[in-house]
Structure 1
Amino acid sequence: MPKRGKKYQDSLKLIEKSKVYDVDEALELVIQTAKANFDETIELSVRLGVDPRHADQQVRGAVVLPHGTGKTRKVLVIAKGDKLKEAEEAGADYVGGEELVTKIQNENWFDFDVVVATPDMMGIVGRIGRILGPKGLMPNPKSGTVTFDIEKAVKDIKAGKVEYRVDKESIVHVPIGKKSFGVEKLKDNFVAIIDALIKAKPAAAKGKYLKSVVVSSTMGPGIKINPAKLSD
């Protein structure tokens, strides 16, 4: 394990290692421990009582954060006909059809954060599934990125919609904003994600669902939150 810097060590001293905090305390601490000289992202990591190897225990979806993420995301829309104009008017950064799929394929072009596609273009988008998939960029109906309602999809993403997906370790990682947001805004975003995860609980999940909840800043240590105090 590489030796951590002085700022990290100083931050670690502020946290009681064996303690699980309530949400407000944890968010106050995560702001205090974000000591880097840039506006650090605050991330929420939730370990769920699911086995993601089973299709009926997948947890995946999207939620619009009340205060956004603090980052403007570039949206690429793959569509045709009237939907191209709709995408442009909604504020998409890049709009097009098959020529954009070719550009990604041939030029390794990735100047975007989210891909939205209309269902009738998914056959074409599927050609670059192997390229988009590993980067987490493949459009998906569950996260609202395969849709004919292009205007809503683009506006939601621009407003601060984040996708969440359980990884193979049964953990969901989601940004809940920036250090500069302060406790209140971070808490609103935190609650929105926890509520979404609870609503997404698979029927096949047995036993305790919210196993552990941790918040951390980009460069800071993790702070445990008591999952028992969050409605499960």
Structure 2
Amino acid sequence: MNTVFPPTPTVTVPVVGTTALFPVHRIYCVGRNYVEHAQEMGHTGREPPFFFMKPADAVLVASPGTSTPLPYPGLTQNLHHEMELVVAIGKGGKNIAVAQAEQHIFGYAVGLDMTRRDLQNAMKAQGRPWCIGKGFDHSAPIGPITPKDAAGDITHASISLQVNNVVRQNSTVEQLIWNIAETIAQLSTAWELQPGDLIYTGTPAGVGAVVPGDTLKGSISGLTGIELKVV
């Protein structure tokens, strides 16, 4: 293939228990998908799900057993953590039925939807797109992907985040407003899902700011946790 410059390498995420890598196609994120988080953001009820996207190269792979550097981005004074369960899609599809959604899942991972909250809020106030608040470099930290059959009962898994060893977020996956299968089904009506898609399923209450020097530790029962150092 004759290209005008070398193509950017495909972003990949390690898979637990194998040397294989999971190639990332797209990153979809679900907004306000835990009741208490929706309330802390000024909303209530089971509103229809809405989605936003991050570029694939926003992925920052957190290596197990180390504290992975997380660069503090420019243009913000209010960088927030949002701890999330990530669903990795292994089989594509469009207009997927809720009952069939699990067949499309390859595995699960621990992830963070990092957010430049001040920029997001400013864009919201002006009625403008808030990609600048969500889709910046290194805004999608993720741990290794655990294949579905090795992850246990993910629907009842605990999910938590500590900052400097103090618990900030603590909930369970069953508290999702739109569960994993419903999210996949809804998402597949708007986009044809592809193998390699990552779905960040939403964050529990307790989101807050981090600053350089902070250490973040995210965990979901049954999955490999992540540790990040804001630099």
- TM-score (norm: length of structure 2): 0.24
Higher strand share: 2
Higher helix share: 1
| Larger RCO (CA within 8 A; separation ≥ 6) | 1
- TM-score (norm: length of structure 1): 0.24
